[in-house]
């Protein structure tokens, strides 16, 4: 069974940036996206601070965010990477299955990847996720390389929008 401990803060910078971006998009009436909480069962609680220090995940989570952009359902997961190789083990089978089902319902599913060592953000459409996932399942590389990514999907911070994923959603729609 999976457990949560101090490693639970991995990716928290990216998620904080995405949360702020979602708030700005909501304020502007462009999108309504919410963070999906991961259900946990606390095992150990620090009595002084009342913080959970050890917990078990109740169930497998689907994706990190879900909502609507101008009436179009969207879901995505946020992943952070500190090297030029992204291990496919960081994307779980139940997440791929959920995103596949979401797309079958006419939604848009994608990943937001943050290459922290480069300070670059990449919008990965589900079709790309699936391509790399299937390659790994069929005996190919169990990771994908930064150099395999398509330049047009890198997101550029504009103004005070930290993770401008609506640019990616727009491009995704145009290419369908």
Q: Work out the burial of residue 77: count CB atoms within 10 Å of its CB; fewer than 13 is exposed, 13-18 middle, 19 or more buried.
A: buried
Q: What separation in angstroms does the CA of 120 have from each of 70, 83, 113, 153?
A: 26, 12, 8, 11
Give the Cα separation of 78 and 154 in Å (integer): 14
What the block records as the tokens of 158 is 């504009």
CA atoms within 13 A on the CB side of 143: 9
Please report, in range form, the residues annotated as the binding site for Mg(2+): 62, 64, 77, 95
Please report, in range form, the residues annotated as the binding site: 62, 64, 77, 95
Contacts of 56 (CB under 8 A, 6+ apart): 1, 2, 3, 4, 40, 41, 43
In sign, the C-alpha dihedral spanning 21, 23, 24, 26 is: positive
- Strands 154-155 and 120-125, by their bridges, are antiparallel
């Amino acid at each position: 069974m999976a457990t949560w401990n101090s490693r639970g803060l991995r990716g928290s910078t990216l998620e904080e940036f995405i949360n702020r971006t979602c708030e700005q998009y909501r304020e502007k009436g462009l999108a309504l996206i919410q963070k999906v909480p991961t259900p946990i069962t606390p095992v150990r609680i620090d009595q002084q601070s009342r913080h959970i220090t050890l917990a078990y995940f109740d169930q497998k989570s689907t994706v990190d965010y879900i909502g609507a952009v101008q009436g179009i359902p969207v879901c995505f997961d946020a992943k952070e990477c500190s090297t030029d190789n992204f291990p496919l083990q960081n994307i779980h089978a139940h997440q791929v299955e959920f995103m596949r089902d979401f797309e079958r319902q006419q939604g848009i599913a994608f990943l937001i990847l943050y290459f922290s060592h480069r300070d670059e953000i990449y919008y990965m459409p589900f079709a790309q996720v699936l391509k790399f996932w299937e390659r790994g399942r069929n005996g190919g590389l169990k990771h994908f390389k930064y150099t395999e990514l398509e330049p047009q999907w890198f997101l550029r911070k504009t103004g005070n929008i930290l993770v401008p994923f609506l640019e990616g959603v727009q491009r995704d729609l145009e290419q369908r």
